[in-house]
């Protein structure tokens, strides 16, 4: 049994015990909360995106997707975020944090963020269990104030983008919210909280992942990436959420070479990440956005069902998705991480793994080098042997999903891909061979 670990970062002002201190307009219970006392008459902008890939609609490259006259979702996110900055809702001024690109082949990005770990309110958290039940007594996003919410995000019902600046909040209809992260690591750092009132624990499901992918598509900005941390891989809140922010440079992970492993029946290409300190899988393509989304979701579900912590990066406007099973917290709990790395107090979550190193000590920032970044990230990665085992497990699940999908054409069950691609041959449940 591993030790219970305290995780530091505060993502909402209401995570503090002394949450009542901030002055707010008196209304309902006076806290402008999300409970029935205050939410009844509340209004929040609603952005309804055009649902892509209805039956028969192809997964067109982003360039072909209709471009709104202005990058409206971008403007909305940043406009609302700036407004919360003006209102002083963040715990520190992220725009004043020093950032530099570390010289080297990959261009790791170092940020000195001393505010993020000061004044912290640790959360009691197990690191050895990826799936844990939602606990309404612990901090969760239903406890934030309405001023931390930016807008509602949902699929449009008439197939066109729609925006309502003052929409009611229909609690019964499971709205998904975009909120600020009060401990931002970059400009425009937000949280996407799918179906917030359903109080889902931090675990990927197909619908929620598709929502995150649709947000990346809809934003259509390659500098806007979404990330996900599972429990055990440095998620700090056990309430389903994705993070996202803008950073106007390529991430090192986006520059790493890849090697194609297979192309699935639905057109999704899966590759192996090469020459990168953290071993991972890369998902691209797909005949429809749902093909891509479901493949990645199924891989995530496989990992969490097998209690393997992982991180996900949604990159390139939703066209490229990186999946990293990781073992840093486990090594940490087993005392297998060097004191030197532990002293940095860096929690290697999705952003660090992608190459954006958020450093807490001036010393580490001053001494940041590609070698140091690499050394830390190498500790996060599964070993080659373990990575192969985990990949086999994931492929088995994905392949069985493919078989389910083709139940009506039994003749084709054995060979799932066409011959110009490495064939994925499904043998028994336990054995899946890549040729």
Neighbours of 177 (CB within 10 A): 26
**Interface stretch with Zn ion, choices 7-15, 23-31, 177-185, 315-323 (CB under 5 A):** 23-31
- State yes or no: residue 29 binds Zn ion (CB under 5 A): yes
What is the rounded CA–CA span in Å between residue 304 and residue 325? 10
Question: Residues 2, 28, 62, 155: which binds Zn ion (CB under 5 A)?
Answer: 28
C-alpha distance from residue 87 to each of 15, 27, 84, 147 (Å): 18, 18, 5, 9
CB 202 within 8 Å of CB 310: no
Q: Which is nearer to Zn ion, 31 or 241 (CB)?
A: 31
Instruction: Name 284's bridge partners.
Output: 269, 320
The least distance separating Zn ion from the CB of residue 17, rounded to whole angstroms, comes to 18
Q: Which is nearer to Zn ion, 27 or 361 (CB)?
A: 27
- State yes or no: residue 38 binds Zn ion (CB under 5 A): yes
The least distance separating Zn ion from the CB of residue 175, rounded to whole angstroms, comes to 17
**Interface stretch with Zn ion, choices 28-36, 119-127, 360-368, 372-380 (CB under 5 A):** 28-36
The least distance separating Zn ion from the CB of residue 80, rounded to whole angstroms, comes to 21
- State yes or no: residue 431 binds Zn ion (CB under 5 A): no
Question: Residues 4, 37, 433, 434: which binds Zn ion (CB under 5 A)?
Answer: 37
The least distance separating Zn ion from the CB of residue 236, rounded to whole angstroms, comes to 24
| Catalytic residue flag (residue 241) | yes
- State yes or no: residue 33 binds Zn ion (CB under 5 A): yes
- State yes or no: residue 413 binds Zn ion (CB under 5 A): no
What is the rounded CA–CA span in Å between residue 138 and residue 356? 29
- State yes or no: residue 97 binds Zn ion (CB under 5 A): no
- State yes or no: residue 342 binds Zn ion (CB under 5 A): no
Instruction: Name 427's bridge partners.
Output: none
Q: Which is nearer to Zn ion, 37 or 434 (CB)?
A: 37
Q: Which is nearer to Zn ion, 19 or 403 (CB)?
A: 19
The least distance separating Zn ion from the CB of residue 34, rounded to whole angstroms, comes to 8
- Considering 239, 241, 356, 421, which one is annotated as catalytic? 241
Q: Which is nearer to Zn ion, 145 or 318 (CB)?
A: 145
The least distance separating Zn ion from the CB of residue 28, rounded to whole angstroms, comes to 4
Q: Which is nearer to Zn ion, 142 or 400 (CB)?
A: 142
Residues that bind Zn ion (CB under 5 A): 28-29, 33, 35, 37-38
Give the residue numbers annotated as catalytic, written as ranges.
Answer: 241
């Amino acid at each position: 049994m591993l030790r219970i670990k305290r995780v530091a970062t505060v993502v909402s002002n209401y995570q503090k015990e002394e949450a009542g201190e901030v002055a707010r307009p008196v209304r309902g219970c006076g806290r402008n909360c999300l409970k029935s006392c205050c939410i009844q008459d509340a209004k929040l902008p609603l952005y309804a995106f055009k649902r892509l890939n209805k039956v028969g609609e192809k997964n067109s490259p982003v360039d072909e997707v209709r471009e709104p006259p202005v990058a409206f979702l971008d403007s909305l996110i940043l406009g609302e975020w700036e407004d919360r900055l003006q209102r002083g809702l963040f715990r520190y001024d992220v725009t004043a944090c020093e950032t530099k690109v570390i010289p080297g082949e990959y261009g790791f990005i170092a940020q000195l963020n001393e505010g993020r770990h000061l004044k912290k309110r640790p959360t009691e958290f197990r690191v050895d269990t990826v799936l844990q039940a939602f606990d309404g007594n612990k901090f969760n996003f239903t406890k934030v104030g309405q001023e931390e919410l930016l807008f509602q995000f949902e699929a449009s019902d008439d197939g066109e983008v729609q925006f309502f600046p003052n929409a009611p909040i229909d609690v019964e209809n499971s709205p998904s919210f975009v909120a600020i992260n009060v401990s931002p690591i970059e400009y425009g750092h937000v949280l996407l909280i799918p179906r917030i009132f359903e109080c889902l624990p931090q675990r990927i499901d197909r619908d929620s992942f598709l929502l995150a992918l649709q947000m990346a598509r809809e934003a259509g900005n390659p500098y806007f990436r979404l990330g996900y941390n599972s429990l055990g891989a440095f998620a700090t809140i056990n309430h389903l959420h994705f993070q996202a922010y803008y950073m106007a440079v390529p991430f090192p992970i986006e520059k790493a070479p890849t090697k194609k492993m297979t192309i699935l029946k639905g057109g999704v290409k899966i590759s192996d990440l090469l020459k990168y300190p953290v071993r991972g899988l890369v998902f691209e393509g797909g005949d429809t956005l749902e093909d891509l989304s479901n493949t990645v979701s199924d891989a995530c579900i496989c990992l969490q069902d097998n209690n393997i912590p992982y991180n996900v990066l949604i990159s390139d406007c939703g066209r490229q998705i990186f999946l990293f099973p990781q073992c840093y917290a486990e090594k940490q709990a087993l005392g297998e991480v060097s004191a030197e790395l532990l002293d940095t107090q860096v929690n290697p979550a999705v952003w660090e793994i992608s190459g954006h190193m958020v450093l807490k000590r001036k010393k580490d920032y001053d001494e940041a080098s590609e070698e140091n970044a690499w050394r830390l990230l190498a500790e996060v990665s599964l070993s080659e042997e373990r990575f192969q085992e985990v990949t086999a497990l994931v492929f088995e699940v994905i392949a069985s999903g493919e078989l389910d999908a083709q139940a009506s054409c039994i003749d084709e069950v054995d060979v799932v891909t066409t011959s110009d691609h490495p064939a994925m041959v499904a043998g028994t449940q336990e054995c899946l061979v890549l040729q």
